[in-house]
């Protein structure tokens, strides 16, 4: 879930031009925001095997002004491919042969009988974590940006 604010691209251009000493406190707050989101998501994630919780990460871009949190990285996405199904749930669907969601192995017997999967209820953990922390994170990063810009303006 990306946060959208007016003028964010203009702000990013300004931040990229800041000297490293002025930009470092902003990057520190963004890192802290990533840790906060990771902790909050970890507290909310449903645990069955623990794999989904272990697959949660946050990533900060090389320039340090963009944060992504969730199941990030090729290995994590491969192992916890079902994260979106947990977050958003699934509709009831057919398990019969040729169905889009047909499986091999244990479900093969169900396929031959034309069974239906009842679907799953959403168990959101990313979006609620984001919504719970958004105001605090925006305030902390905003304060760091204001301080950095004041520092640069003073010289």
Has residue 96 been placed in a domain?
no
- Give the whole-angstrom CA distance, residue 113 versus residue 92: 16
**Rounded CA separation 32/29 (Å):** 5
Q: Say if 133 falls within a structural domain.
A: yes
Whether residue 69 lies inside any domain: the answer is: yes
What average pLDDT score do residues 76-99 get?
86
Percent of the chain, pLDDT > 90?
59
More confident residue, 99 or 54: 54
| pLDDT tens digits, 127-148 | 999 999 999 999 999 999 999 9
**Residue 70 within a domain:** yes
For residue 110, being part of any structural domain is answered with no
Could you report the per-residue pLDDT of 33-70, keeping only the tens digit for each? Answer: 999 999 999 999 999 999 999 999 999 987 778 899 99
Residue 113: inside a domain = no
Residue carrying the six token digits 């990313």: 126
Does a structural domain hold residue 27? yes
Question: Domain containing 37: what range?
Answer: 17-89+121-154
Domain count across the chain = 1
């Amino acid at each position: 879930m990306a946060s959208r604010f007016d003028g964010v691209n203009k702000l990013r251009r300004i931040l990229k031009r800041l000297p490293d000493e002025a930009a470092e406190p902003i990057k520190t707050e963004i890192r802290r925001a990533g840790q906060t989101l990771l902790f909050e998501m970890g507290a909310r994630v449903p645990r069955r095997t623990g794999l989904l919780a272990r697959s949660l990460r946050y990533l900060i871009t090389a320039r340090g002004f963009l944060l992504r949190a969730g199941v990030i990285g090729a290995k994590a996405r491969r192992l916890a491919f079902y994260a979106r199904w947990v977050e958003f749930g699934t509709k009831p669907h057919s398990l019969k042969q040729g169905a889009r969601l047909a499986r091999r192995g244990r479900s093969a017997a169900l396929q031959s009988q034309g069974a239906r999967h009842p679907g799953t209820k959403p168990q959101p953990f990313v979006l609620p974590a984001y919504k719970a922390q958004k105001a605090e994170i925006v305030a902390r990063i905003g304060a760091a940006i204001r301080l950095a810009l004041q520092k640069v303006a003073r010289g």
